[in-house]
Structure 1
Amino acid sequence: MTQTLSQNWDLDTFFPGGSDSQAFQDYLTKLKEDLERLNIRVKDMFAPTASDQLAGFSALIHEVQDTAVRLREASAFTSCLTAQDMKDNKATLLSGTVKSLRATYATILTNIERILTEIPEDLWLELVRHPEFEAISFYLGERRQAAREKLSPDMEALVSDLSVDGYHGWGELYNTTVGNMAIPYEDNGETKHLSVGQAQNKLSDPDKTVRDTMFEKWEKAWSAHADFCSDALNHLSGFRLSLYKNRGWHDVHKEPLDYNRMSGQTLQAMWKAIDDHKSYLLSYFERKAQLLGVEKLDWNDVSAPIGNVSKAVSYDEAADFIIKHFETFSPKMASFTKKVFEESWIEAEDRPGKRPGGFCTSFPDSKQTRIFMTYSGSASNVATLAHELGHAYHQHVMNDLPPMAQQYAMNVAETASTFAELIVADASIKEAQNKDEKIALLDNKIQRSVAFFMNIHARFIFETAFYEERKRGLVPVSRLNELMVQAQKEAYKDALGSYHPHLWASKLHFYLTQVPFYNFPYTFGFLFSAGVYLKAMEEGQDFENRYIALLQDTASMTVEQLAHKHLDADLTSTAFWESAIQLVLQDVNEFLTLTNE
């Protein structure tokens, strides 16, 4: 089939010239000047104490929001540059400049928080009802409460400044190291050197020999870099723990829970419901082992394809399929998705030098998004593409809200993406051409459930245990390997024949500096979106506008409030999570029935 859609994104729309863009340099210069001026202004500003002073405060908040939008634009651009070519040293330098600007903005926010805490209670109640502030009252209240739990504004500003070269520097160094890694691979007698992203794709190859060979090289490569990764992980966590100690925070889950606007009770209810139903996945493991002709699945067999896997899906075919099935649920989402493909908002080319994984980032000043992935034609690639398009649509429906009402957390961000993925996965299964293809697609879908219920649970268990040990001192490589294998055995109910000791080194999410525990939000989003999906199946296109309303509220309330308002559900109870898990159990039962012969 003729390829008509570009697999390279268009970044020149924002700033022509890539990392050499003079327009971007000018944008950064103006942004830096505005940030410095705003920083001086808010540092010496007093809180409003009367109603007639709210107009001045409103003007300040508008200026802060405008600056935040431009900072997000700059950050998105450098993220795209470094992802598309991890050896682009100029892009890395630009990324460092943007991180420095973000530190200045963090100082501004700290002073905004100080101002918010100084507002008298009676005026505060008036402010949150004021038309100028109503849409962002939740965000302002959140910042006000956060300020009361932190250090003094001067100390928090110092933390932000020091974190650029200390805390964030470790994350950047990890990315640079991974970008320079090359893993050897024999292909028809020729030795190729694969990027981490390319090598990762080989770990799910249909041929077990290829999987086993690549997994051995994969472990060896990460073992060779383990000392450095251990340093990075220990220092990132050490920074956080020192900050927590000085703030008087004793629970390592406090920051990620606050960031995700969810309670510990909700997190516990979710994990309990999952743990209570893992036995169904063990039945799937046993059947899959039989089909693969092995006694017990190894780590690198879990994501191995089953059934008719020879069919590759071209990029154009994937685009048509996704748009078609988005249309059955939401014509608005389908129309938006068509625009994304046609206007080259996606970087999907399979080539060396790209960073591993996939992401969607927003350019709020331009009201656009960009999607990054490596597309090689697998069913998993199609699912990833749908996933990232869900992220893009989420931001799209938020574009006209005030910037402070767009700051949704990663758990609800994963809701829109996983919802889109579910639509496409189910459609793929229903349209399977034969039994073998249906089995293959079901297997692929169940693999993602395994990832959310077990792989991510293992990461959560590991990270929790690691932080407790890190409080007592540095954790060496050997112990990190032990903690990871222990976590994997617990999460997978000791059902595998081998494990991945260096997952703590190879998983980028442990080295992200936005927030720790960048794991459970994916599982939350998966199951929460399943709850949304159940509603959508009941109501069809009648649910479209309700879905948009739900997405638009994701930055304006806690997840418990969001579920109560739009789904009439209680997230602190296992009942909601168990109903969502039934979708997974249906897939497992169908897989077992189809493969019974």
Structure 2
Amino acid sequence: MTLPLPRPVFDANATGGGLGDLPDWDLTDLYPATDAPEFSRDMAWLEKACADFAADYEGKLATLDAAAMLDCIKRYEEIDVIAGRIMSYAGLRYYQNTMDSERAKFMADAQDRITTFTTPLVFFSLEFNRLDDAHLSGLLSQNADLARYKPVFDRMRAMRPHQLSDELEKFLHDNSVVGASAWNKLFDETMAGLMFKVEGEEEELNLESTLNLLTDTDRAKREAAARALAVVFDKNIKLFARIHNTLAKEKEVEDRWRKMPTPQTGRHLSNHVEPEVVEALRNAVVAAYPKLSHRYYRLKAKWMGLDKLQVWDRNAPLPIETPKTVDWDSATRTVLDAYGAFDPKMADLAKPFFEKGWIDAGVKPGKAPGAFAHPTVTTVHPYVMLNYLGKPRDVMTLAHELGHGVHQVLAAGQGELLSSTPLTLAETASVFGEMLTFRKLLDAAKTPGERKTLLAGKVEDMINTVVRQIAFYDFECKLHAARREGELTPDDINALWMSVQAQSLGDAFDFMDGYETFWAYIPHFVHSPFYVYAYAFGDGLVNALYAAYADGLPDFQAKYFDMLKSGGSKHHKELLAPFGLDASDPKFWDKGLSMIAGFIDELEAMEG
């Protein structure tokens, strides 16, 4: 069990460019203000609760009976809730404006204090993992309320072979604020502060606005944006190489001490997924590159009248696509209608996000780029962050993040320790929400051109989610393996990046000079090593799930809601069994990949 720190959660004027009123977060459900008495009260409570917990239980876990062990776990869970609430508030405020030094200081100070308070708790997982298996089984058999926590204990005890001495674990815990956490902050603040001089634009643009130009209808604008990105990344490449070198080395040192057999092992353990399942997914996707990305991009080059695509064409709108801006109200309606058509309960779960200040939608100076749903703690509710610019793809992002939000609301009933879903399953509801929205739009398409545009957009999103993320995973595997042999120069990292890009995107592409530095802005490599395969896992899983839904599996909706309500209380095998699915079957991944191939088949047939 680890105490939560905010995940990268990614302020637009209240109105912008014809999009209508864009909502901002109302964080008062966490705390009314930074100087609120509630915040000081919780901080003081946390300090005392951690000290009391250690005084009451350190060295004594093996002597507790089942009832006393349950009290112990509940006290730990309450500490988890308060620490998570404080850090969620500090983190969400920070990500609204990462350039605001007051917000950065508030978050850093909160993190420092919580790290200090919780250091006395480090003994807990170490001592718990030393409990004899037979003794623990006996306790669980005597108390059903305690037995509920077995999945948490299983995940914790999976780390038994890799835990260090109590003293070393405390040192690592204390040292974390000046280790990876500090390098993460440096990366975030550097990225948020980068400005790009894009030819043809009057003012310098931030990262989010520059990346957005890569989907512009004007090819010259797309090229100008790509070249501006390359110039600034190259200027900062030594810093980004230093961050990656340091984080990869720090991970290698800790992995070596923990006797982790591979750099990926820690991620697999936290995802509660077997290495062979991930390997089967990776191999299935790489084998499918030719029939997915290579084939689709050749088709796209033909549509665009080009012999070769450039990197700035990868996410370009199709020539037949009529540029359109989707205002916020239309986006809201589209997603809620799609959710409601699946089951009215799903739309009801999503509505409070729009009505109660649980979404921060606009693009603002200093706001972190990207989008995500942050679960905060089970006693409050999730918050969704977007950088909404009115593109059709932004509607899909809204559907995606809202899926996460619905999942987090449903899983909250499990309580703090059991609600958190492993990353591999955390993408299920988000990708399913996207698929519902896409299918609703596809069914409503009035012309072949509209259908083609929708299909192509979905294929591109799936390639970005499956092919691109597995290429990212391969890049990380190569990067961490190479770092074990010694320090990597920027050119070394660039070469690793280009090797996976050429393999995954195929022969339809020429790569401009400068593209070799585009690894630099991907936050997952910095914040969460090997996170990326979870996207491909989620997409493949949802394609198989959606096929079961489309085939009319009885009581699908009830089974689906039960799965989401389970949070982290069940293994993927157990969760998927009611749908007749098994992710450990190597053929499982081919089902999802064949859905993408089927969409490309239809697009090719339209050419005939």
- Indicate the TM-score class for this superposition, using the shorter chain for normalisation: over 0.9
Q: Cα gap change, 1:34/1:552 in structure 2, threshold over 3 Å: closer, same or farther?
A: farther
2:249 to 238, 254, 259: 238
Please state if 1:217 is matched with 2:261.
no
Distance in 1, Cα, partners of 2:266 & 2:285:
23
Q: Percent identity?
A: 22
Structure 1 stretches lacking a partner, 5+ long: none
Q: Is the 8 A contact 1:449 1:584 kept in 2?
A: yes
Please state if 1:168 is matched with 2:184.
no
Distance in 2, Cα, partners of 1:285 & 1:92:
42
RMSD: 2.2
Q: Is the 8 A contact 1:322 1:424 kept in 2?
A: yes
Q: Cα gap change, 1:22/1:175 in structure 2, threshold over 3 Å: closer, same or farther?
A: same
Deviation, 1:141, is: 2.4
Partner of 1:509: 524
1:476 to 465, 468, 489: 489
Distance in 2, Cα, partners of 1:147 & 1:27:
35
Q: Is the 8 A contact 2:378 2:415 kept in 1?
A: no
Distance in 2, Cα, partners of 1:301 & 1:2:
26
Partner of 1:251: 262
Partner of 1:408: 421
1:501 is aligned with what amino acid?
E
Residues 443-522 of structure 1 mapped to structure 2, 5 A cutoff: 443-498=456-511, 500-512=515-527, 515-522=528-535
Deviation, 1:136, is: 1.1
Please state if 1:83 is matched with 2:95.
yes
Question: Alignment partner of 2:375: what SS?
Answer: strand
Please state if 1:343 is matched with 2:343.
no
Partner of 1:30: 44
1:495-536 deviation per Cα after TM superposition (whole angstroms, max 9, x unaligned): 421163122211111110xx4112101110111111221222
Please state if 1:123 is matched with 2:138.
no
Deviation, 1:365, is: 5.2
Q: Is the 8 A contact 1:261 1:558 kept in 2?
A: yes
Q: Is the 8 A contact 2:53 2:75 kept in 1?
A: no
Deviation, 1:23, is: 4.3
Deviation, 1:352, is: 2.9
2:369 to 335, 342, 356: 356
Deviation, 1:290, is: 1.3
Distance in 1, Cα, partners of 2:198 & 2:31:
37
Q: Cα gap change, 1:39/1:311 in structure 2, threshold over 3 Å: closer, same or farther?
A: same
| Larger displacement relative to structure 2 (377-386 or 126-135) | 126-135
Question: Alignment partner of 2:204: what SS?
Answer: strand
Partner of 1:205: 216
Deviation, 1:237, is: 1.0
Question: Alignment partner of 1:371: what SS?
Answer: strand
| Larger displacement relative to structure 2 (123-132 or 466-475) | 123-132
Deviation, 1:428, is: 1.5
Distance in 2, Cα, partners of 1:22 & 1:367:
17
Deviation, 1:21, is: 3.9
Q: Is the 8 A contact 1:391 1:416 kept in 2?
A: yes
Distance in 2, Cα, partners of 1:215 & 1:11:
36
Q: Is the 8 A contact 2:51 2:120 kept in 1?
A: no
Please state if 1:527 is matched with 2:505.
no
Residues 566-585 of structure 1 mapped to structure 2, 5 A cutoff: 566-585=578-597
Deviation, 1:566, is: 2.9
Q: Cα gap change, 1:354/1:536 in structure 2, threshold over 3 Å: closer, same or farther?
A: same
1:273 to 276, 284, 289: 284
Distance in 2, Cα, partners of 1:382 & 1:23:
39
Question: Alignment partner of 1:399: what SS?
Answer: helix
Distance in 1, Cα, partners of 2:117 & 2:519:
31
Q: Is the 8 A contact 2:466 2:535 kept in 1?
A: no
Partner of 1:313: 326
Q: Is the 8 A contact 2:25 2:360 kept in 1?
A: yes
Size of the aligned set, in residue pairs, is 587
Q: Is the 8 A contact 2:467 2:536 kept in 1?
A: no
TM-score normalised by length of structure 2: 0.91
Distance in 2, Cα, partners of 1:491 & 1:98:
42
Distance in 2, Cα, partners of 1:3 & 1:375:
9
Distance in 2, Cα, partners of 1:24 & 1:547:
38
Distance in 2, Cα, partners of 1:230 & 1:24:
42
Partner of 1:264: 275
Q: Is the 8 A contact 1:358 1:373 kept in 2?
A: yes
| Larger displacement relative to structure 2 (313-322 or 582-591) | 582-591
Question: Alignment partner of 2:384: what SS?
Answer: strand
Please state if 1:60 is matched with 2:75.
no
Distance in 2, Cα, partners of 1:2 & 1:480:
42
Distance in 2, Cα, partners of 1:27 & 1:590:
60
Q: Is the 8 A contact 1:196 1:355 kept in 2?
A: no
TM-score normalised by length of structure 1: 0.93
2:69 is aligned with what amino acid?
F
1:25-72 deviation per Cα after TM superposition (whole angstroms, max 9, x unaligned): 41552254145414632673312346xx22222212111101111222
1:387 is aligned with what amino acid?
H
Q: Is the 8 A contact 2:140 2:146 kept in 1?
A: yes
Q: Is the 8 A contact 2:53 2:121 kept in 1?
A: no
Distance in 1, Cα, partners of 2:49 & 2:497:
42
Please state if 1:195 is matched with 2:209.
no
Partner of 1:16: 32
Q: Cα gap change, 1:551/1:192 in structure 2, threshold over 3 Å: closer, same or farther?
A: same
Distance in 2, Cα, partners of 1:274 & 1:231:
31
1:85-115 deviation per Cα after TM superposition (whole angstroms, max 9, x unaligned): 1212122122223433553576456422233
1:112 is aligned with what amino acid?
F
1:220-242 deviation per Cα after TM superposition (whole angstroms, max 9, x unaligned): 11111111111111111111100
Deviation, 1:24, is: 6.3
Distance in 1, Cα, partners of 2:104 & 2:568:
30
Distance in 2, Cα, partners of 1:422 & 1:195:
31
Distance in 1, Cα, partners of 2:41 & 2:439:
44
Q: Cα gap change, 1:221/1:124 in structure 2, threshold over 3 Å: closer, same or farther?
A: same
Distance in 1, Cα, partners of 2:137 & 2:282:
37
Partner of 1:40: 54
Q: Is the 8 A contact 1:313 1:378 kept in 2?
A: yes
Deviation, 1:273, is: 2.0
Distance in 1, Cα, partners of 2:113 & 2:449:
53
Q: Cα gap change, 1:121/1:102 in structure 2, threshold over 3 Å: closer, same or farther?
A: same
Please state if 1:368 is matched with 2:381.
yes
Structure 2 stretches lacking a partner, 5+ long: 1-16
Distance in 2, Cα, partners of 1:142 & 1:475:
34
Q: Cα gap change, 1:174/1:577 in structure 2, threshold over 3 Å: closer, same or farther?
A: same
Deviation, 1:562, is: 2.9
1:503 is aligned with what amino acid?
F
Q: Is the 8 A contact 1:15 1:23 kept in 2?
A: no
Residues 523-562 of structure 1 mapped to structure 2, 5 A cutoff: 523-539=536-552, 542-562=555-575
Q: Is the 8 A contact 2:340 2:347 kept in 1?
A: yes
| Larger displacement relative to structure 2 (430-439 or 219-228) | 430-439
Distance in 2, Cα, partners of 1:580 & 1:466:
28
Deviation, 1:376, is: 1.0
Q: Is the 8 A contact 2:289 2:504 kept in 1?
A: no
Residues 364-403 of structure 1 mapped to structure 2, 5 A cutoff: 364=377, 366-403=379-416
| Larger displacement relative to structure 2 (280-289 or 552-561) | 552-561
Distance in 1, Cα, partners of 2:520 & 2:140:
45
